[in-house]
Structure 1
């Protein structure tokens, strides 16, 4: 791929975020996230089993001020930075992966106001989302391109089915991407926002997977849905600043997987410390004093610490990239995307391994359904398949060996 723009977008984007999250800001939102996570952890297993749309959990996010975290203060929001939002995702994931996913996608979907909307339209979008405390779901799965957006007067009509629409069944609004079919703008991809109750929009509620059960990720069917000009955010093109959407969601995944690993290790530690005897062949008095188990826990803690250090660096770098606005270049994007791909690789592997092997530390009794230790593994095993991590390894390797840059897509 050559580092040139497509020419599809002529606006000069201005970022509503400047600078980066400082220590006081990070401390504030880490505390808010931890308070929310503590509430979620209290009945995470019971809620997972009930498998109901997480309206109550979304209200909890609102109550702790997390929904409007990224909305600039001048538009009625909290005025925080992306590094704070990414820490929120990480902390929530240690307690409830489903709600962490909802928060991650919400932040990126809400952030498309800055990425896709023209500067003169952003204030109205930000004010409305802040006033309504909207949770943003999405219906953009790019490997399921079954939507048809056809011109209809001054607007469009939308028809088709979109699977894996995270947050759709609880989102106040749903952001949708679709290519125009017919007319002078045929093939142009638009991003637009519909309220969940729009006529012709049908929530199928068919999300029935191993993990992430409360992520509200069912399919949505659109039957002759009216899309008005006021619903349209903008065009999805390759203007560099607008393409920060994908590195952003991939970075959120890295923080999410890290959080799951931290949560699984913390739960394993709690179980291990609660075991007052020791293995019959051990000379230690308790399992926690046994070097065999100490070694495993030490390995997990060390690898998690390394991933955490990388994530913290990249969270700050994403703030710095976002702040550039129109000055953010395709060269900047290529370098940032590779660094985030590196995080995606190691966070996936550490997260899956810790959530799996923690049972080696906690023993057969921890496989009881009443313990719920499997929740961490089920969640990360499900979500880590979102896009193949092997392709992230190839992305990193091709860059390292040949300086190659992957094509810009909603996965790269």
Structure 2
């Protein structure tokens, strides 16, 4: 009998398949709720302190959430993307910054599956799981490209990247850069460096209106040596590899949704505690006044509609990822547009909820120690990541002509 040897390159590019069962979703959602409850206790105080969120990362690590997507055979939780997106949404109800950290971590860690040769994926996943790595990134495409120059069997990296989420607290940072010289000249490589690598400078310059604990400062590289073993693989236009960006956009939709739900919950609690009522009202309390009930009902209904769309797409994303190397351009393009639709409505719903919640909580809720503004500041800050109007154009163009936006780290 002849022996058949499989070429590792012909194996699936992604290790995920099937869908999350109710028991899995229930488990990880319960874990996320426990973390969210802990974060909610001092969310405003931590936001004001604006310190690097090492303790918050420790909370995520201890909970097991960082390894949710790592296959069980490599020491991870063996979960699906649907469970990961649900966890991000739940964490965002308490702390949008930490939800962003977790969302980017999942995408960055998943670079293993989208870029690395299947023969090498197991070792990367196992190392990440064993050491509980939080994955940051340094791939902001609006900055000039980094300079990655071939040197011997490795490379030298120089340059600056702003908006490097998770970089200042991540155990490792995933970076993309085009190669100059050598056998890989012109190729864009994805590679992974530890935060403490010699020549890697964390500038600590993230000090923005919201998402203050997302560890999104700039990173500067001074002749950093990149060894062959640091390289995940080439960044290509292969449909399954390019699915990583829609996945991150889907995570955005989920944490915008979570922020809206958090604002609604906080507003409800404040309204129920309000005494008396408006002097023109016939109700005994503000919470019994139809005016305030109507506002909350409108905001709650819109948020629920966005939630239904998110849940549908979270489950569908597992279907598309499960196609692995068989995912084609049409399938990739169709889900990217569907996710863009969520990005549009999640952005607008979260901004509206975080803004209008004050209409039911009253002027006393604008006191700085109440902290209701944290929800608006967080969603207002991150929703500017890429212009939502371009997402509307992306959706409209596809609806009219069936054409997709050019591939990029935003589409």
TM tier relative to shorter chain: over 0.9
TM-aligned CA deviation for residue 191 of structure 1: 0.3
SS at match of 2:66: coil
Unaligned ranges ≥5, structure 2 = 1-8
Match of 1:151 in 2: 150
Query: How do residues 6-405 of structure 1 correspond to structure 2 at under 5 angstroms?
Result: 13-405=12-404
Residue 3 of structure 1 corresponds to: none
**Any idea what SS the aligned residue of 2:357 has?**
helix
Give the SS at the match of 1:67: helix
Shift of 1:405: 1.2
Distance 1:203 1:34 in 2: 32
In the comparison of the two structures, how many residue pairs are matched? 403
Aligned-partner Cα distance in 1 for 2:210–2:336:
27
The answer on whether the counterparts of 1:352 and 1:380 sit within 8 Å (CA) in structure 2 is yes
Question: Residues of 1 paired with 2:113 and 2:168: CA distance?
Answer: 24
User: C-alpha distance in 1, partners of 2:64/2:245?
Assistant: 25
User: RMSD between aligned alpha carbons?
Assistant: 0.9
- Cα pair 2:145 2:178 within 8 Å, conserved: no
Q: Secondary structure at the match of 2:243?
A: helix
Corresponding residue for residue 4 of structure 2: none
The superposition leaves residues 9-52 of structure 1 with CA deviations (integer Å, 9 ceiling, x where unpaired) of x8664321110111110000100000000000000000000100
**Please, what TM-score do these two structures have when normalized by structure 1?**
0.97
Q: Residues 216-275 of structure 1, C-alpha deviation per residue, up to 9 Å, x if partnerless?
A: 000000000000000000011101111111010000000010000000000000000000
The question of whether the paired residues in 2 share the 8 Å contact of 1:93 and 1:263 is answered with yes
Counterpart secondary structure, 2:101: helix
Q: Tell me the alpha carbon deviations over residues 336-384 of structure 1, each in whole angstroms, 9 at most, x when there is no partner.
A: 0010000000000000110011111101000000100000000000000
- Look up the SS of the partner of 2:159 in the other structure: strand
Aligned residue for 1:20, secondary structure, equals coil
Cα separation, 2, equivalents of 1:157 and 1:93: 38
C-alpha separation in 2, matches of 1:222 and 1:11: 35
For 1:161 and 1:239, the matched residues in 2 are separated by 27
Residue 64 of structure 1: how far off its partner (Å):
1.1
d(CA) in 2 for partners of 1:184 and 1:82?
36
Contact preservation (8 Å) 1:191, 1:232:
yes
CA separation in 2, counterparts of 1:357 and 1:14?
A: 45
Q: CA deviation at 1:185?
A: 3.0
Task: State the Cα deviation string for residues 283-318 of structure 1 (Å, max 9, x = none).
Answer: 111101111111100000100110000000000000
Q: Give how far 1:406 is off.
A: 1.1
- Checking the alignment, whether the CA contact within 8 Å between 1:11 and 1:118 is kept in structure 2 is no
